[in-house]
Structure 1
Amino acid sequence: MDIKAQSLYSELQSLARQASLDSSQAQPLVTNPSSQNFGDMLKQALDNVNELQFDSRNKQVAFEMGDKSLSLVDVMVAKEKSGIAFEATVQVRNKVMEAYKQIMNMPV
């Protein structure tokens, strides 16, 4: 289930504003463009982590097959880069889930 908290919150605020105004002063619903930008940024970051992991795996396989253009140092640096990127992604996911749980436990 994909819930976009920011867009849901902004939509609820717009509905509350509309309810407080009379029908002649009602404003149309406006979505928050920053939530779309955050989604794009998050997708780009995940694609970057995925690319680092594929690069690391390809270098590892090429080195194991005897590619003389790669050194063990190149393979280990690529492996560490992908590992650090993955760990950072996991930490961001944990913080997002923690924030989501706090928001869901807020009284309305």
Structure 2
Amino acid sequence: MDIKAQSIYQEMQSMAAQTKMDLDQPAAIQGNPSSQNFADLLGNALDTVNSMQLEAKDKAMAFEMGDKSLSLADVMVAKEKSSIAFEATIQVRNKVLDAYKQIMNMPV
């Protein structure tokens, strides 16, 4: 699993820029077609992080039970991958919450 936090962040920035341009042009009041795609992308990323964590847990349990096909390095790499993916997810969540707080603090 390859978490691309930078690409998610860039997509969020492009969506914000597009929204800003739409606000400058009041005649162009339309729904954002990429918002559903972003939700799908975020959902898929969360599912992938979850599956990575479950895979790491399964590998650790199999190694503890004496599975000869797994090495300690394989288990540790799987655990680190899931840990990094989880940390990236937390960072994206924090950025989204910060953006929400900024929007809520904007004067109307």
TM (norm. structure 1) is 0.73
Q: 1: CA distance between counterparts of 2:98 and 2:77?
A: 32
Cα-Cα RMSD? 2.0
- Correspondence list, 1:18-29, <5 A: none
Counterpart of 1:86 in structure 2 is: 86
The count of corresponding residues between Structure 1 and Structure 2 is: 86
Structure 1 outlier segments of 4+, above 6 Å: none
- Correspondence list, 1:67-86, <5 A: 67-86=67-86
**1:4-57 Cα shifts (integer Å, max 9, x gaps):** xx9xx8xxx7xx76xxxxxxxxxxx74221110000000011011001000000
Q: Where in structure 1 are there 5+ consecutive unaligned residues?
A: 1-5, 18-28
Counterpart of 1:41 in structure 2 is: 41
Q: 2: CA distance between counterparts of 1:51 and 1:97?
A: 24
SS of residue in 2 equivalent to 1:88: helix
Counterpart of 2:59 in structure 1 is: 59
Q: 1: CA distance between counterparts of 2:41 and 2:62?
A: 31
TM (norm. structure 2) is 0.73
Q: 2: CA distance between counterparts of 1:34 and 1:105?
A: 25
Percent same amino acid at aligned positions?
68
Q: Where in structure 2 are there 5+ consecutive unaligned residues?
A: 1-15
Q: 2: CA distance between counterparts of 1:44 and 1:35?
A: 14
Larger radius of gyration: 1
